Structure 1
Amino acid sequence: MTPERLSECLRLVRWDQDTLAQAVDVPSLSVTAWIAGTEVVPRKLAAWIEALCFVHEAAEETKPFTSGEGFGDGPRQEFIPVYAYNLLRSLHGGKVALRTLFGTDDEGAVYFLVSRDLAVREGGHLMITDAGRAVGSMRI
């Protein structure tokens, strides 16, 4: 495998040098040397990378027709930790006194909700915002 082909394969699978090094459990300097052409890419590794590249190219060729509409500039979806979501659901029923919340889990949940404008602190209470109401209104 030539250094150029290795670079092309990494581009196709959207990996950087460190990702390859981690995947095959070698030092990053080895990958750097392979790409620079100062060391030969081991034969087994070259075959593995070619197979990975082949599968990735085949997957790219069979993308569903919905692909290509663009990622857009809309809001990015974010995972809400379960503990924070449970607190958000509690806030849906009314404000919660901050003195009733304690421990690092509660602190983390409050920080998460307030930092994302899903809840606000007012006095000694935590209250839900309109954005939080929209997220926490899922019916079960």
Structure 2
Amino acid sequence: MRVDEALRIYLSEFRLPGEAPLISALLEHFAARWRECNNFQLANNDAAFGLSYACIMLNTDQHNTNVRRQSSPMTVEDFKRNLSKMNNNENFDDGMLTEIYNAIKSDEILLPAEHTGRVRESYLWKLMLKRTVTTGEKFLHVPTGAYNHDI
């Protein structure tokens, strides 16, 4: 699973805090776990953290209207240049960076509070399905048409 896909899942559960040290701590733990679970050719956890943080920055650059524009949005070349030599003094796979850039540019990483429309409905449906598998909840299943005679 690519880092941007994993970030989408990770960030669907909570909103990132506004403080940089807290964001950093959350992304450090995320990056270490993501690297452990995936077979990507990353040199170390620092490389995974740098890539994760770059994805968050790219998402902000491409989609946040509150960001004051000094220049045009980041291009794929800018994204690659920002990550140059960050994989233990090596470059990340060029194709992977292009895929990540295109995915984030075309589909914003949304946090739960920002969900609207179909994205919100899909998110709420996913939450409801997740709750059905927990042991503490009980749901009543009624066969279709069981109460039709009352109508």
- Which protein has greater RCO, CA pairs closer than 8 Å, 6+ apart? 2
Q: Please, what TM-score do these two structures have when normalized by structure 2?
A: 0.30
Q: Please, what TM-score do these two structures have when normalized by structure 1?
A: 0.32
Going by fraction, where is strand more abundant, 1 or 2? 1
